[in-house]
Amino acid sequence: MEKIAAIIFHIDVNSAFLSWESLYRMERGVENADLRNIPAIIGGRQEDRHGIVLAKSTIAKKYGIRTGEPITQAINKCPDILIVHPHHNEYVKRSKKFITLLQQYTDTLQQVSIDEAYLDMTAITECQKSPVSFADNIRKNIYNSLGFTVNIGIAENKLLAKMASDFEKPDKTHTLWKDEIPEKMWPLPVGELFLVGRSAKNTLSKLGISTIGELAAMDKELLISHLGNKYGTTIHNYANGIDTEKVEEPEVKNKGIGNSVTLPSDVTDFETANQVLLSLAETVGARLRNEGYLSSNISVEIKDWDFKRTSHQTMLTDATDSTGEIYSIACRLLKEHWDNTPLRLLGIRASKLSTHQYRQLSIFDTPVSEKQKKLDSAIDSIRNRFGKNAIKRASFLDSDSVTDQKRDKKTP
């Protein structure tokens, strides 16, 4: 094998929400606690079974259940499926411990979602003969210290490391060096290449392209003529293992806190989109409160099935860390911005951050708003101790904004 210029690890938690929920339940002695060993999904509301699948067990996957599909479809595939509502505050805490542990190994770390990160581990070649052995030690440390498993992909760039981490799961280490591409990556279905969605896959299929190797060998100009210059060039490079993006240093916290999700099935209606936004708002709100920030700018990001990425944002009169407010604002922004083009990605970002300590008081601050802040804090505490369903936000049940979204979903 040629001398490697860089060594990049992509570390991905195996079924993160399901693993973290299982640990949360086992710590409290809940019946059927380890969801990883039974047909189970995270998502929706237990009492009315609305919403989407956020995570699934390996057994649930055997029934054909997919992340991102409606709960009702999952029930049709497996009527006895156990549905568990997510505890987002708990997931944020475990994610923070996960990233903190990884920071022991390198200062060059890029967290890209709540459950995955890239590490530039090039320096270990100076004292370690085997990157694989080093990665195996990290996996074991994560399991012994935090109780959940991860997959680690090793390569000389981020794209190949991510592809490698998606190989056989769970609790595995895989390499994908450039000289391993013909054997390990090119035989894979083209839909497994990062950034190749359903629309692009269908276009490639019409061109006779079914594997990543066939895409890699395809005439680049022909590909560009069908998929556009930027996107066509990107996936052609990816198919050939080319990626020049560096592992970035951690962002300055004050830049913002956000979360996004890429769905395997295109979202075409507001009700489903709003369920996704609710899940994202729970995570963003919990992170704001956990880190002691208020946000005065909320933005919603979308990416459609042609990979066009746009966003819509609003400045707030009063900074907030309230899940209910973030969700309500996100729903309004989406309604104003989205033209019903099928969506592949939804995201919420809270920026223009300030701390509670230095927050400028508004003339609109009232005893009622202060009580709401205290209530949010109390809700976090109760949910952390007794579970998500121990208390519900009245704003999620009776909010006019949510009701209006459901009523107007066909007339945006």
Read off the pLDDT of residues 346-384 as tens digits, 9 standing for 90 and up: 999 998 887 654 344 333 344 445 555 565 566 566 656
Task: Between 179 and 342, name the one with better pLDDT.
Answer: 179
Task: State yes or no: pLDDT of 34 exceeds 90.
Answer: no
Task: Determine, yes or no, domain membership for 26.
Answer: yes
Question: The domain that contains 341 carries what CATH number?
Answer: 3.30.1490.100
Residues 228 and 257 in one domain: no
Q: Please, are residues 274 and 70 in contact by the beta-carbon 8 Å criterion?
A: no
Alpha-carbon distance of 61 to 46, in angstroms, equals 20
Task: State yes or no: pLDDT of 209 exceeds 70.
Answer: yes
The tokens for 153 are 């992909």
Residues 212 and 85 in one domain: no
- Structure confidence at residue 261 as a pLDDT band (50, 70, 90): confident
Task: State yes or no: pLDDT of 404 exceeds 80.
Answer: no
* Average pLDDT estimate for 177-186: 96
Q: For the whole model, what pTM was predicted?
A: 0.66
Res 362: pLDDT: 39
Task: State yes or no: pLDDT of 251 exceeds 90.
Answer: no
Task: Determine, yes or no, domain membership for 80.
Answer: yes
- Parallel, antiparallel, or unpaired for β 150-155 and 173-175? parallel
- Structure confidence at residue 199 as a pLDDT band (50, 70, 90): confident
Res 396: pLDDT: 37
* Average pLDDT estimate for 389-404: 40
* Average pLDDT estimate for 246-254: 64
Nearest to 267 by CA among 258, 281, 277, 257: 277
Task: Between 336 and 165, name the one with better pLDDT.
Answer: 165
Question: The domain that contains 224 carries what CATH number?
Answer: 1.10.150.20
Res 402: pLDDT: 31
Q: pLDDT over 90 for what percent of the chain? A: 42
Res 160: pLDDT: 97
Task: Determine, yes or no, domain membership for 30.
Answer: yes
Residues 89 and 144 in one domain: yes
Nearest to 134 by CA among 45, 11, 46: 11
Picking from 173, 194, 227, the residue at the C-terminal end of a domain is 173
Alpha-carbon distance of 99 to 87, in angstroms, equals 19
Beta bridge partners of 111: 117
Res 373: pLDDT: 59
Res 211: pLDDT: 97
Beta bridge partners of 310: 302
Residues 76 and 166 in one domain: yes
Alpha-carbon distance of 325 to 97, in angstroms, equals 27
How much is the mean pLDDT over the chain? 82
* Average pLDDT estimate for 219-245: 93
Residues 274 and 227 in one domain: no
The 10s digit of each residue's pLDDT in 96-151 is 999 999 999 988 899 888 899 999 998 775 556 689 999 999 999 999 999 999 99
- Structure confidence at residue 397 as a pLDDT band (50, 70, 90): very low
Alpha-carbon distance of 404 to 166, in angstroms, equals 40
Task: Determine, yes or no, domain membership for 247.
Answer: no
Structural domains in the chain (count): 3
Task: State yes or no: pLDDT of 170 exceeds 80.
Answer: yes
Task: State yes or no: pLDDT of 89 exceeds 60.
Answer: yes
Task: Determine, yes or no, domain membership for 179.
Answer: no
Residues 209 and 323 in one domain: no
The domain containing residue 230 runs over which residues?
Answer: 186-240
Asked which of 80-94, 132-146, 326-340, 363-377 is least confident by mean pLDDT, the reply is: 363-377
Res 319: pLDDT: 84
Residues 28 and 159 in one domain: yes
Residues 300 and 350 in one domain: yes
Task: Between 364 and 3, name the one with better pLDDT.
Answer: 3
Picking from 173, 194, 221, the residue at the C-terminal end of a domain is 173
Task: Determine, yes or no, domain membership for 5.
Answer: yes
Task: Determine, yes or no, domain membership for 399.
Answer: yes
Task: Determine, yes or no, domain membership for 248.
Answer: no
Res 352: pLDDT: 85
* Average pLDDT estimate for 245-263: 74
Picking from 196, 218, 240, the residue at the C-terminal end of a domain is 240
Residues 338 and 190 in one domain: no
DSSP 316-384: EEEEE--HHHHHHHHHHHHHHH---PPEEEEEEEEEEEEESTTPPPPTT--HHHHHHHHHHHHHHHHHH
Residues 235 and 103 in one domain: no
Residues 14 and 116 in one domain: yes
- Structure confidence at residue 250 as a pLDDT band (50, 70, 90): low
Residues 225 and 93 in one domain: no
Task: Between 364 and 164, name the one with better pLDDT.
Answer: 164
Active-site amino acid positions = 116
The 10s digit of each residue's pLDDT in 38-60 is 999 988 665 555 678 888 888 99
